[in-house]
């Protein structure tokens, strides 16, 4: 009798339908294909790791790692998955710089007839893999396995090598390890502000830290540059309107067009801002920011940098009170002062000349202020009182983001209680481990040293 493996017979009588794009992504994620894949340019790629599955805008997988046959170099980058080759163009990826780091275009089937070369916005050809003929088993066999995956909340990553080591430890030890990583991250942030405080003074360091936090991910750098080029000591001497004029003028947001053509509401005060700015801009000419320095594409209207600059202008007036709250380690007072930042125009607008928002919205909502407490308030407190900062972040909760979610999925932190997983210090620790180990790994965990670090872990005295 043959002992060869035979896939179980399916109870289905009809053939499985062709896969959806999500199912092809699941095939890629689960690595249900040969370890070495042929590409349309005649080469063979060894797939070391499929990358992290991205369920938001942008390429489908980030940090995939491959090696071309006959070459020892490991190539790390993004992978985009489609059903058909020409979807690359239909979805506009050839003109979108977000896809410039693509190292493979994975498609289910070939484009019939004409040859098709996917290319990035910089005209670099992206090698293409046709997956259907290179699977480890027929699609009918793999389809139920993918269906199971795509019916549940989609994961971003599979369990990593460290998960087995962590699973063998008591929950308290796992929390201790992750919190230690969180404290490292806190100290790292604090060190930067320590030097800014030494160079520019405590108020200016706080002002820059708040500006950077208001920039969120997309515009942290230009917001910090604005706060450095228009320092607190200069802005506090100006009237509220002059502060706005300087901030919008230097940031490059004052419209070039004639204000006479604008609708009535912004027209009056924009003219006022221009009157102030054209007299003030001469000495600041060297420091002007161009529109290209701001990331505006894909931003929700409420997160537009114009609203963040308006909030920064209001913060100038309360900075001494914020400094005093910081001094007293009073996070409630600090949060209340930020939540009280108001601006009648900017609560109804996302841009200087656009239409009104559907519903008025506070300049700084509770979520953003909570974020500022975690990323600014407690790191700054830790400069003088690390123990208070540790206590503060242990008592706070934080919503997981995509990076900490991937870290949780890779480390399989099931022994932690739901409260522990939401703890701000634990979330910070997960981000640090993700950044230091998962993001630098391109060996599918094989060369990562974190599992060994965990095995040899000794609790601090």
- Residues of this chain that interact with ligand SF4 (CB under 6 A) are 160-162, 410-411, 433, 437-438, 441, 445, 448, 450-451
Tokens of 29: 């994620």
Residue whose CB is nearest to ligand SF4 in the complex, by number: 160
Cβ 385 to ligand SF4 shortest distance, Å: 31
Cβ 171 to ligand SF4 shortest distance, Å: 18
Cβ 107 to ligand SF4 shortest distance, Å: 28
DSSP for residue 349: B
Report long-range pairs for 356-359 (Cβ below 8 Å, ≥24 apart): 357/301, 357/302
Cβ 457 to ligand SF4 shortest distance, Å: 13
Nearer of residues 207 and 437 to ligand SF4, judged by Cβ: 437
Q: Which residues contact 218 (CB under 8 A, 6 or more apart)?
A: 295, 299, 303
Q: Which residues contact 451 (CB under 8 A, 6 or more apart)?
A: 161, 162, 164, 165, 445
User: Kindly report the CA angle at 427 between 422 and 430, in degrees rounded to 5?
Assistant: 135
Tokens of 306: 């114009």
Cβ 410 to ligand SF4 shortest distance, Å: 4
Nearer of residues 165 and 270 to ligand SF4, judged by Cβ: 165
Which residue reads 């419209």 in tokens? 255
Asked whether the beta carbons of 269 and 259 are under 8 A apart, the reply is no
Distance (Å, rounded) from C-alpha 252 to C-alpha 228?
15
Cβ atoms < 10 Å from Cβ of 24: 23
Nearer of residues 95 and 414 to ligand SF4, judged by Cβ: 414
DSSP for residue 327: H
- Cα separations in angstroms, 223 against 95, 292, 332, 338: 27, 13, 25, 17
Residue length of the chain: 461
Cβ 241 to ligand SF4 shortest distance, Å: 51
Asked whether the beta carbons of 437 and 149 are under 8 A apart, the reply is no
Cβ 436 to ligand SF4 shortest distance, Å: 8
Nearer of residues 134 and 163 to ligand SF4, judged by Cβ: 163
Cross-strand bridge partners of residue 67: 46
Cβ 163 to ligand SF4 shortest distance, Å: 7
Which residue reads 């985009």 in tokens? 80
> What DSSP letter does each residue of 264-280 carry, written as one string?
HHHHHHHHHHHHHHHHH
Nearer of residues 306 and 441 to ligand SF4, judged by Cβ: 441
């Amino acid at each position: 009798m043959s002992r060869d493996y035979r896939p179980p017979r399916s109870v289905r009588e009809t053939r499985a339908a062709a896969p959806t794009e999500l199912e092809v992504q699941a095939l890629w994620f689960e690595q249900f294909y040969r370890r070495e894949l042929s590409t349309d340019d005649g080469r063979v790629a060894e797939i070391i790791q499929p990358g992290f599955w991205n369920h938001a805008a942008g390429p489908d997988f980030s940090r995939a790692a491959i090696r071309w046959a006959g070459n020892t170099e490991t190539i790390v980058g993004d992978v985009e998955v489609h059903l058909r080759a020409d979807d690359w163009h239909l979805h506009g990826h050839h003109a979108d710089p977000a896809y410039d780091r693509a190292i493979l275009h994975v498609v289910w089937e070939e484009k019939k007839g004409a040859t098709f070369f996917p290319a990035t916005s910089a005209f670099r050809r992206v090698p293409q893999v046709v997956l259907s003929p290179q699977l480890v088993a027929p699609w009918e066999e793999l389809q139920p396995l993918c269906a199971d995956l795509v019916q549940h909340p989609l994961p971003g990553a599979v369990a990593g090598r460290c998960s087995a080591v962590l699973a063998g430890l008591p929950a308290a030890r796992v929390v201790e390890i992750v919190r230690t990583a969180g404290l490292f991250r806190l100290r790292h942030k604090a060190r930067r502000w320590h030097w800014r405080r030494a160079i520019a003074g405590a108020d200016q360091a706080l002002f820059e830290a708040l500006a950077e936090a208001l920039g969120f991910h997309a515009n942290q750098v230009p917001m910090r540059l604005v706060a450095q080029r228009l320092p607190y000591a200069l802005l506090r001497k100006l009237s509220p309107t002059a502060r706005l004029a300087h901030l919008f003028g230097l940031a490059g947001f004052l419209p070039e067009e004639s204000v006479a053509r604008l609708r009535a509401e912004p027209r009056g005060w924009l003219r006022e801002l221009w009157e102030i700015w054209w007299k003030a801009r001469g000495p600041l000419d060297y420091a002007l920011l161009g529109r290209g320095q701001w990331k505006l594409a894909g931003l929700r209207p409420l997160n537009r940098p114009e609203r963040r600059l308006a909030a920064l202008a209001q913060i100038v007036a309360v900075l001494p009170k914020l400094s005093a709250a910081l001094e007293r380690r009073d996070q409630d007072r600090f949060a209340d002062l930020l939540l009280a930042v108001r601006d009648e125009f900017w609560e109804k607008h996302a841009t200087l000349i656009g239409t009104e928002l559907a519903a008025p919205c506070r300049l700084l909502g509770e979520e953003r202020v909570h974020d500022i407490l975690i990323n600014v308030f407690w790191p700054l407190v830790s400069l003088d009182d690390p123990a208070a900062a540790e206590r503060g972040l242990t008592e706070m909760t934080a919503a997981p983001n995509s990076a900490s979610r991937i870290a949780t999925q890779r480390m399989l932190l099931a022994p932690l209680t739901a409260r522990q997983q939401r703890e701000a210090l634990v979330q910070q620790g997960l981000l640090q481990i993700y950044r230091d180990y998962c993001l630098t790994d391109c060996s599918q965990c094989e060369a990562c040293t974190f599992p060994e670090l965990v095995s040899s872990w000794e609790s601090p005295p």
